[in-house]
Structure 1
Amino acid sequence: MMYRNSTPDSTLVSNYIQGSETCLEILIKRHQQRLYSFIYSKVQDRDIAEDIFQDTFIKVIRTLKLGNYNEEGKFLPWVMRIAQNLIIDYFRKSNRMPAFKNTDEFDIFSIISDGDLNAEKKIIKEQILSDVRELIHELPEEQKEVLVMRIYKDMSFKEISENTDVSINTALGRMRYALINLRKIIEKNKIILVN
């Protein structure tokens, strides 16, 4: 059977479950850049990012083979959640929690914490979030634009590239530099992202 670029993820997933190995290859190729970029932006290390990327798809394959997949056509968000859990596991094992984390809402400044934040921590967190939003204005215009589109408007890099008339790679590059610069600004302003 021939598969086109337009074949939906859900069709590829169900055909893979029924035994078509080609479908998994297409799914991996389709999403590898976005998934790898997401993982790398969190761990900032190519080898670790590669390992987590591989582990993510091992887990995906295992779940699909066991017939435990029921995401109803939301393949990529499901894969991203698996990757995010593996990233958190990696940081827990190495005892260094990252300053940044993406949640489903892509709020990069949310703070990893176990259980609920108490009232005082909530106030601190809100203050940090508003401080960080203020600092975004210090970024170069092109980087600020991509960061706002990606995080606050939840746009894909494809949508960002179409809206800004640049290639996807340029949009990814600007996002990467925006995060690097934001970290520097945060350090310079001595804002501590508390656990």
Structure 2
Amino acid sequence: MEFIDDSKLVDSYVMGNESALAELIDRHKNKVYGFIFSKVLDKSIAEDIFQDTFVKVILTLKEGKYSEEGKFLPWVMRIAHNLSIDYFRNKTRMPIIGETFVDEDFSIFDFLADPEDCSETKIIKLQIEEELRLIIQYLPDDQREVLQLRIFKGLSFKEIAEETDVSINTALGRMRYALINLRKVIEEKNITLTLV
């Protein structure tokens, strides 16, 4: 079988060939996951960061913002490195939460998932979680389902794919569209997730 280099697979994926992304993930998953695990030393956290890395990869590719021609793996590793740093950063400080919560640098979902909370933080999280539950009602059923399974049940994308009987690529795609549509809903309705 002919070897297709990363840049051609990236172009193919951007043009709509979903299997090209599967090939890229399969090609680099061991190296990327190994790198993340070496930073966080926790299997489940490493799996989540790995999945979040490829969600960010998908978003960037689909939005046409990828410009690392011929440097796909180093670019992915940089994303994985930044998300690993964000994991440790989010554990040590409470984030500012505003209308840009579905942001490149900060995810409200990471904040909601942290189990080490004082009672005040738990109250804040419950309030934000309730606001999120209301907002996601505006999403199409398939996108809402993936978002609920990921945020509120804490399932990995592999588990979501099994639960909803779709491929991991489809689950990732639905999550991507859910985040895009969530951002639109927040902007259209001028919603702010607040701490008070």
More helix by share: 2
Q: TM-score, normalised by structure 2?
A: 0.49
Q: TM-score, normalised by structure 1?
A: 0.49
